[in-house]
Amino acid sequence: MAGKIYLVGAGPGDSKLITVKGLECIRKADVLVYDRLASPRLLKEMKPGGSKIYVGKLPDRHTMKQEEINQLLVDLALEGKTVVRLKGGDPTIFGRVGEEAELLRRHGVSFEIVPGITSAISVPAYAGIPVTHRDIASSVSIITGHESQEKLDRSIQWDKVTNATGTLIFLMGVAKIGYIAGQLIKHGRPPETPVALVRWGTRSDQETLVGTLADIEDKVKAADFQSPAVIVVGEVVRQRELLMWVEGKPLFGKRIVVTRSRSQASELVDRIEELGGEPYEFPVIETVMPQDAGKKAQIAAAFQQLTAYDWVFFTSVNGVEFFWRHLAEQKVDLRVLYRARIGAVGPATAAALGERGVVAEQLPGEFNAEGLLAAFGPELKPGQKVLLPRGDLARAWLPDKLRELGLEVTEIDTYETVAAGEDDDELLKLLEEKRIDAVTFTSSSTVRNFIGILQRMGHADPLPLLSGVKIACIGPVTERTAVEAGLTPGLMPEEATIEALVQELVRWNESTRVK
């Protein structure tokens, strides 16, 4: 039985600008065929086991000819695959979707075209330029600038296009900007007509260059302004001075790697996005229920005597989450902890308990094991029983100190931290091209696993790869691990919380901005 092809527009670059239907298609695809303008974050939305095929084109070379891409889609469909052909922007705007769809139809392959947000309108909008304006421009033209001068002259009627609409949008025309400007002046546009080029629009490395038809070529050469970029010609460009919005966000211009587990990354990822940065999710750890029979037996034994504990200390959100999973699995009623006092490290852990109807004892001023002991130390008495539901990689410092004070400590590994992270060629490329600004680490295991994955991907010594990248650690324990790994941490908040880490990133970005 033949499969189905979805010809999907990925939008201009910001992964959240894909349509709901486009995202649904990606999540059910067996194969994703994509080009370089598709956001790497969209590739991570595929179901487990799905395969990815890169067919992107660069200005100086083609990974695969268009005819070969067309045939690839047919072959995959005839194998019974559900395939998404993911294209930057909208597939019907210079996306050659017609050629692909025509061949599919000739072979009897079922397909759907899923429109995307074209860069022709979205990229100028992110630069503060509306392509139409009631008082300035009531019409817009979208024109290819990719062809040779001869082909441009054959495909574009310059005498008609030049003044046909208030705004002219040229896609893929950076290399021909001088010729385009010259033709527009020749056919009647005033030399002082405003022009804007927006490169990598909607992404963290968005750049905007503004000039006029008369001087834009010189400005492009002086700035070494490269593709991909959208060219906007017309009076609407002047609106940028009033409507610039994305450049003013506190983390604009920063691409930040998030190494946290996928289940926990959302808070950090969302905050980076809200503040104008571009998060790059690269989870290097995952937390799972213990599989070892011995550990399961220890947990069961501890849960059978929950009424005996004087204290239960939770040192992480994961500790809370997995403790409740075990309560359900063991069919134990939480009310058996009626006599225990509950302590939490940090506001996030306390909030996780609060969501479950448990009010934690006073929070320590320092959000780590040391702070917890400092806060509760005077009330800890010899002979008291303490339960520590933690992860398998938790430090021995806290139970050791509690035992030194004469308390009876029961440690249970309610969850395990395992290495995650597939080889990611896109991340490697961004690091090699120095297009990653910062990497965030929220635990020692994220540091160790991140370094290990880079080594697995062919960099025996990853440190040069991270040269110039700001290393941000959530707390002193993580920072020490980073130093031991040879890294040079540059950011660490006073409080070991996600929000404090985000604010530290904001302060850093503000300090590096050109005034």
pLDDT in tens, 149-203: 777 788 899 999 999 999 999 998 999 999 999 999 999 999 999 999 999 999 9
Compute φ and ψ for 506, nearest 5 degrees: -65, -45
Pairing relationship of beta strands 167-171 and 229-233 according to DSSP bridges:
antiparallel
Active site residue: 21, 57, 249, 296, which one? 57
Pairing relationship of beta strands 229-233 and 255-258 according to DSSP bridges:
unpaired
What are the DSSP E strand ranges found in 156-283? Answer: 167-171, 194-199, 207-212, 229-233, 255-258, 278-281
Per-residue pLDDT in tens (0 to 9) along the chain, 515 residues: 779 999 999 999 999 999 999 999 999 999 999 987 778 889 889 998 899 998 876 545 556 788 899 999 999 999 999 999 999 999 999 988 998 999 999 999 999 999 999 999 999 999 999 999 999 999 999 999 877 777 778 889 999 999 999 999 999 899 999 999 999 999 999 999 999 999 999 999 899 999 999 999 999 999 999 999 999 999 999 999 999 999 999 999 999 999 998 888 889 999 999 999 999 999 999 999 999 999 999 999 999 999 999 999 998 899 999 999 999 999 999 899 999 999 988 888 999 999 999 998 866 666 677 888 888 888 899 999 999 999 998 888 889 999 999 999 999 999 999 988 778 888 999 999 999 999 999 999 999 999 999 999 999 999 999 999 999 999 999 999 999 999 999 999 998 889 999 999 999 999 987 65
Active site residue: 14, 35, 90, 424, which one? 35
57 is catalytic: yes
Residue partners of 211: CB distance under 8 A and separation at least 6: 194, 195, 196, 218, 219
Compute φ and ψ for 161, nearest 5 degrees: -70, -35
* Contact between 453 and 284 (Cβ < 8 Å): yes
How remote is the C-alpha of 145 from its chain's centroid?
30
pLDDT tens digits along 474-505:
999 999 999 999 999 999 999 888 999 999 99
Compute φ and ψ for 394, nearest 5 degrees: -65, 150
Structure tokens that stand for 156 in this block = 């574009």
* Contact between 260 and 444 (Cβ < 8 Å): no
Active site residue: 4, 46, 90, 172, which one? 172
Return the number of other C-beta atoms located less than 10 Å from residue 324's C-beta: 18
Beta bridge partners of 343: 313
DSSP 8-state class, residue 89? B
**Distance (Å, whole) CA 250 – CA 506:** 6
* Contact between 168 and 233 (Cβ < 8 Å): yes
How remote is the C-alpha of 173 from its chain's centroid?
28
> How many residues in total does the chain contain?
515
35 is catalytic: yes
- CA geometry: angle 439, 442, 445, nearest 5 deg: 95
Q: Which residue has the tokens 């966000």?
A: 249
172 is catalytic: yes
Report the candidate in 456, 479, 459 with the shortest Cα–Cα distance to residue 467.
459
Q: Which domains does the chain have, with CATH numbers?
A: 4-117 (3.40.1010.10), 121-247 (3.30.950.10), 255-284+422-512 (3.40.50.10090), 288-419 (3.40.50.10090)
DSSP 8-state class, residue 273? H
